[in-house]
Copies of this chain bind each other. A is one copy, B any other.
Amino acid sequence: MSEMQSARRGRPGYDQQGILAVAVAAFNEYGYDATSIGMLAERLGLSKSAIYHHFGSKDEILDRALDSALSSLEAVVEEPEGGAEGSVSASAADRLEHVLRGAVHVLVDQLPAVTLLLRVRGNTDVERAALSRRRTFDRRITALVSAAQDEGALRDDIDASVASRLTFGMINSIVEWYRPGGREGADRLADDVVAIALDGLRKR
């Protein structure tokens, strides 16, 4: 916030954000464990120790990136309003659709950080903390699906937990192939996700 966000000129003179962006891209390309500090240094055009001036450890780089992704996702389920514009308390079904669309947009807008988040296995304390936050997020989605079933808006012949896992599995899989600048924009993609999840592929 203090210096300048992006668009840095000339050559070096990195801040945390600049290093973070390069690091996250590398982590996604090779995997976190397979990416060495030396590789990051090479990509940044820096020495290894220069990186340690900005981050205390490799783990800390990961921590920052995961926090960014998680905060954005958490914001989606914590929005006070639901989906019907400005209404005080929308139906669970409307709130669910709103969350599905919001999640797709977060995935697209923060593609590198969310990609990294979705690949975390729980190997270290940092990773376990991130997984814990993810589970809290998942529970809130499941509760929303369950409420929508109780309303009678969603079919109840599928377990709420299974339905929400499969639906978010579909959404999360977007990070595996979506690349910005392609034919499909985020809005269109969110429409497709909602269309399949709620109404299915079959023609009626």
Contacts and interface: CB of A to CB of B under 8 A. Distances in A.
A200 B203 contact: no
B184 A153 contact: no
A192 B191 CA distance: 21
Interface residues of A, number: 45
A186 to B, nearest CB: 13
A154 B163 CA distance: 21
A166 B192 contact: yes
A47 B13 CA distance: 48
Interface in A159-198: 159, 162-163, 165-174, 176-177, 183-184, 189, 192-193, 195-198
Contact of A170 (B34, B158, B170, B183): B170
Contacts of A145: 201
A121 B31 contact: yes
Interface string A27-43: 00111011000000000
A169 B158 contact: no
Interface of A: 29-31, 33-34, 119, 121, 123, 145, 152-159, 162-163, 165-174, 176-177, 183-184, 189, 192-193, 195-203
